[in-house]
Amino acid sequence: MNKLSIDFQKQFSDRLIFDKSVFARIDRSVKLHEETNRNPLSSSAACLNVIGALSNDPKGLMSYLNSFNLQLEEVLPFPAPAEIDGRLYNDTGYAVFEWVGPQTSPLLEIGGGRGHNQTSIDAYVLGKIAGKICQIFIEWKFTEGSSRELFLGKFSGGRGIERLRRYSTVLAGLRKRNALPFAFSEEFQPGQPASALSLADFSPDHLYQLMRMTLLAKTTTPILIGDLPVSDYRILHLSHSGNDKINRLYPKYLELSPGLSRFADMDFHTVWRELLAEDEKSKFLSGYWDQSIPAIENEELRNYLTSRYFVERFS
């Protein structure tokens, strides 16, 4: 049976969250997705069932994350309570959920908070890579595109105009610093083989989310978290291996993204790496989160996750 189907996932309705103690480690100001405790198809719940269940196990968490080639030398406990430019974080453990950065959004987002109406990171980890303290931004996908249609017009309509203004302003600031994270050309020239990449091309929902994550990482690095001087970052995009709706960039997703037309039908993670500036490519990592479940040492957790999420892959 398809493990991404509601019929299969319903059998776990009596234990949607493997280890509910994770909630006690999350700051009370966080607004978790409404579906976390009630929808078996919730990506938020899936993230808590893996990263949350490992968030008090630094060795296990590092081993799991390194299966995606992060090359972590150490994971660090979040130094709670930590004030980040006016925003207080009271999260404990080795992973923080719905991280947004400082009190004033560096992405010019007005209002909202952790988990609502601001760019919020599904899971956030501090660790050492190549001797530097890095902030690791994790985006977690489960059934998006399969259980519900992806929204493809983030830069369309009245709200789209506001989004274009907001993120264009952020990008303009980065350009002045010669720090654009995306492979934008200076201008589109006649005779080029394909349309030049533009901000509007990030209109499909899953590209839009990665665009905002990248901007948040770029604008908050370096950063001081507690007494930890963070000088680098990584972005880790994890999807489920059985969700072909999000793992491939179908032509219908690109109707409002002419600059991406040449990437139609390609692997999503491969395409995203192509959209990054050269010095950003090494900061982006990706994979299928379910495929690393068998490497988890905690037997009870591994068995739960395997029976619920793991899909055997055949070459």
Whether 113 is covered by a domain: the verdict is yes
Q: Domain for residue 207, yes or no? A: no
Predicted pLDDT of residue 189: 66
Q: Which pLDDT belongs to residue 24? A: 97
pLDDT of residue 185: 86
pLDDT > 90? residue 262 = yes
| Alpha-carbon gap, residue 68 to 216, rounded angstroms | 21
Q: Given pLDDT bands bounded at 50, 70 and 90, which one contains residue 315?
A: very low
Residue 254 lies in a domain: no
pLDDT per residue over 188-207, tens digit each?
666 665 558 999 999 999 99
49 is a domain residue: yes
- The stretch 166-188 carries a mean pLDDT of 93
Tokens of 313: 């892959």
* Model pTM score: 0.96
Tell me what pLDDT residue 190 has.
66
| pLDDT exceeds 90 at position 313 | no
- The reply to whether 178 falls in a domain is no
Residue 73 in domain: yes
Give phi and psi for 145, each to the nearest 5.
85, -30
Low-confidence winner among 79-88, 146-155, 242-251, 291-300 (lowest mean pLDDT): 146-155
* 8 A C-beta contact, residue 79 and residue 226: yes
CB 125 within 8 A of CB 65: yes
- Which comes out higher in pLDDT, residue 51 or 148? 51
Separation between Cα atoms, residue 2 and residue 41, nearest integer Å = 12
**Tokens in use for 77?**
């406990």
Which three-class secondary structure string do you get for the chain? Answer: CCCCCHHHHHHHHHHCCCCHHHHHHCCCCCCCCCCCCCCCCCHHHHHHHHHHCCCCCHHHHHHHHHCCCCCCCEEECCCCCEEECCEEECCCCCCECCECCCCCCCCCCCCCECCECCCCECEEEEEEECCEEEEEEEEECCCECCCECCCCCCCCHHHHHHHHHHHHHHHHHHHHCCCCCECCCCCCCCCCCCCCCCHHHHCCHHHHHHHHHHHHHHHCCCEEECCEEECEEEEEEEECCCCHHHHEECHHHHCCCHHHHHHCCEEHHHHHHHHECHHHHHHEEEEEHHHHHHHCCCHHHHHHHHHHCCCCCCC
Q: How far apart are CA 169 and CA 247, in angstroms?
A: 30
Other residues' Cβ atoms within 10 Å of the Cβ of residue 52: 25
Please state, rounded to an integer, the average pLDDT across all residues of the chain: 95
pLDDT band at 61 (very low <50, low <70, confident <90, very high): very high
Domain that holds residue 27: 6-148+221-248+267-308
pLDDT score at 124? 98
Instruction: Please tell me the distance from the alpha carbon of residue 26 to that of residue 32, in angstroms, as a whole number.
Output: 10
- Range name among 192-201, 228-237, 273-282, 305-314 with the lowest pLDDT average: 192-201
- 125 strand-pairing partners: 136
Check residue 314 and give its pLDDT.
53
Q: How far apart, in Å, are the Cα atoms of 216 and each of 45, 46, 90, 220?
A: 23, 23, 20, 6
Q: What pLDDT shows up at residue 186? A: 80
The pLDDT > 90 percentage for the chain reads 92
118-172 pLDDT, tens digit each: 999 999 999 999 999 999 999 999 999 988 889 999 999 999 999 999 999 999 9
The domain tally of the chain equals 1
Do strands 132-140 and 232-239 pair parallel, antiparallel, or not at all (unpaired)? parallel
For the chain, report the end-to-end CA distance as a whole number of angstroms.
20
